[in-house]
Amino acid sequence: MAHKQKKSTLLPCKQINKNTANTAKDRLHAFINIFAKEDEVLVVINADPDALATAMAVKRLLRYKVKSVIIAHPNEIRRLNNQAMVERLRIPLERLKDIKVDNYSKRVMVDSQPTHLPCFEKIKFHAIIDHHPVAGDFDCEFIDIRPEYGATSTMAVEYLRAAGMTPSVALATALFYGIKVDTQDFEQKSVLADGISFRYLFNIANRDLVRKFELTDLRRSELKYFSIALAELKYSKGRYYSHLGRVRSPDVLVIVADFLNHVGEIDWVFVSGIHGEKLIVIFRCDGYRKSAGKLAERIFGSLGSAGGHKGAARAEVPLKNLQLGDKEFTSDTLKRFIMRHI
């Protein structure tokens, strides 16, 4: 049964009295005390920047406390940004399906919870560190879940500082990027603690490398979509419309839409493409007296899933719901869909 409280959840080991304040050192000691020198530790993540960075921090915290620490993930790392992070920071990873979980005497989950994926539910965890809303009652020696935090990387920085450990450049870079990604450069949910950790990492992290991660989001084979987008581009009353046809990944639609949104005199950008059996439409605007999310829902909400924020939104519509018959979806079709509602 899910917890309804929004405040931090800390269920430490028995040495910590329930009335003791949950300071950073309390949390650190409660976490460290569940491990023994002979432990072989498995850190399980659903790999993304925040999870990768936190797992690296846990490995650093336990370096001299346990026999070994391995990081494992079940998901395929497909995003180029994340691939670049793993490769350039040389993060050692194992696929969860390739290891025997029971061979590890202690198992830690970070930036996730056992109920998030079916493969996690089969594992008995000894510690959970996360910033997502509490999603269940977990039988665990140590739980530190703080839903108000913008990133688990922020929590990891607090653990490191409580331990008196200055992160290496590689670790600081990972944590810095993890906070940037999960708070979306502090445009999304965050608390003062996120800002404090971010500022602490600012002069340690390799910010040029972080910028490289952020810019690595396009394959050479996907450059052709810019040619298609420009060839198919329609303009009307400060609005751009472009349909790219079938795309390898919906991510390329986002990249093209963001690119077109840089044009100064353009108020709205609509970029669409077909991925699998769905039409994907990306909405962009300045968010000033406009709402991309509300417009997306108004146009496509009855046909599929649609919504977003003031300046950015997305719709995903099964092709069968469009009732196009034998006709193909084009930039003109996109324009007609939008014009009926704008």
pLDDT digits (tens, 9 = 90+) for 158-205: 999 999 999 999 999 999 999 999 998 998 889 999 999 999 999 999
Query: How does 311-328 read in b/e, with b if 16+ C-beta sit within 10 Å?
Result: bbbbbbbeeeebeeeeee
pLDDT digits 0-9 by tens, 278-320: 999 999 998 778 889 999 999 999 999 998 888 889 999 999 9
Query: Nearest 5°: CA angle at 174, between 146 and 124?
Result: 50
Please report the pLDDT score of residue 31 as a whole number: 97
Q: Is 83 within a domain?
A: yes
Inter-CA distances, 164 with 157, 159, 160, 227, 308, Å:
11, 9, 6, 52, 41
pLDDT value, residue 254: 92
Give how many domains the chain has, as a whole number: 2
Q: Which residues contact 71 (CB under 8 A, 6 or more apart)?
A: 43, 45, 52, 55, 56, 59, 91, 92, 93, 94
Query: Looking at the structure, do residues 205 and 57 belong to the same domain, yes or no?
Result: yes
Domain end residue (candidates: 193, 215, 237): 215
Burial tier of 341 (Cβ tally within 10 Å: 0-12, 13-18, 19+): exposed
Residue 288's contacts (CB-CB under 8 Å, 6 or more residues apart) are none
> Does residue 2 lie in a domain region?
no
How far, in Å, CA of 83 to CA of 48, rounded? 10
How far apart (Å, rounded) are the C-alpha atoms in residues 9 and 140? Answer: 12
Cα gap 129→110, rounded to integer Å? 5
Q: Is 173 helix (H, G, I), strand (E, B) or coil?
A: helix
Domain presence at residue 4: no
**Phi (first) and psi of residue 120, to 5 degrees:** -75, -30
Question: Do 243 and 211 reside in the same domain of the chain?
Answer: no
Note whether 150 and 77 are same-domain residues. Answer: yes
Q: Does 159 lie in the same domain as 88?
A: yes
Q: How many CA atoms lie within 13 A of 38 on its CB side?
A: 1
Q: Verify that 233 and 207 share a domain, yes or no.
A: no
CB count in 10 Å sphere of residue 98: 7
Q: What pLDDT, on a 0 to 100 scale, did the predictor assign at position 11?
A: 46
Do residue 190 and residue 267 come from a single domain? no
Q: How many CB atoms lie within 10 A of CB 231?
A: 10
CATH code for position 125 = 3.90.1640.10
Structure tokens at 75: 């998901």
End-to-end CA distance of the chain: 43
pLDDT of residue 20: 39
Last residue of a domain, one of 195, 215, 235: 215
Do 143 and 226 reside in the same domain of the chain?
no
Residues 105 and 56 in one domain: yes
What's the pLDDT score for residue 198? Answer: 98
Are 187 and 250 found together in one domain? no
Structure tokens at 70: 């391995």
pLDDT at 137: 85
Q: Is residue 46 part of a domain?
A: yes
Examine the domain organization and report whether 54 and 114 are in the same domain.
Answer: yes
Question: Same domain, yes or no, for 299 and 317?
Answer: yes
Cβ–Cβ under 8 Å, residues 9 and 75: no
Report the pLDDT value the prediction gives residue 342, as an integer from 0 to 100: 76
Q: Which residues of the chain have pLDDT under 70?
A: 1-21
Residues 229 and 173 in one domain: no
Last residue of a domain, one of 190, 215, 240: 215
236 lies in a domain? yes
- Domain coverage including residue 283: 221-339
